[in-house]
Chain A
């Protein structure tokens, strides 16, 4: 059974903290994604990676960075958390062909 696991379901962080969100997939997928989901805005792509150490900016990369040192793991980093980064963060992975993406359970991050 396909599995994408995000390290935390809920996180509360303080403004200015450096925050790490971790995602692991066990399907040997090439592509991995980080999205944030906000009411009325749907899923917006932050970054995606199509191979180890390869990354590409999505639609809203400002304030975020990513790391992919191993194929199965994709990390999202908030360099200095701000309150406008309070959101649900979803990680996903896919083979690329077919493009069907499998999602993790999400991390609800609150920045206070």
Chain B
């Protein structure tokens, strides 16, 4: 069975702190790893990492894929209250093409 595990499950920080969120996976036929941010509504796409693109950066957010360790990290520097959300990791692969398996999510709370 495909499995994606995120840690920590929740995190409380103050504005300006740097945070690192973790995602590890066990998926047959790994194709890609995706990060999403979910505020009150629908998850919105942040990054996709593949064998040919193991590092992505957008502003204060960056992510790295470690294919050897079967894991990824999402870094957020200089956090702001607007970064408060659930961060979801998903892995594409498995026995069915197009299937995405999600982790439990990390709830990030940023206090002023």
Contact = CB atoms under 8 A, between A and B. Distances in A.
Interface of A: 4, 30-31, 33, 35, 40-45, 48, 50, 56, 58-59, 90, 92, 94, 96, 98-106
A44 B102 contact: yes
Given A43-B102, A50-B97, A99 B92 contact: yes
B9 A105 contact: no
A100 to B, nearest CB: 5
Contact of A105 (B1, B32, B42): B42
B71 to A, nearest CB: 16
Nearest to A31: B98
Given A40-B104, A99-B31, A59 B42 contact: no
Interface string B40-77: 01111100100000000000000000000000000000
A42 B102 contact: yes
Contact of B48 (A43, A45, A50, A98): A98
A45 B101 contact: yes
Interface in B73-112: 88, 90, 92, 96-105
| Interface SS, A side | strand
Contacts, number: 68
Sort chain B's interface into a size bin: 20 to 34
A82 to B, nearest CB: 23
B34 interface: yes
A42 B103 contact: yes
Nearest to A6: B42
B6 interface: yes
Contacts of B42: 4, 90, 103-106
Given A59-B1, A106-B42, A96 B88 contact: no
Nearest to B95: A56
Contacts of A90: 42-43
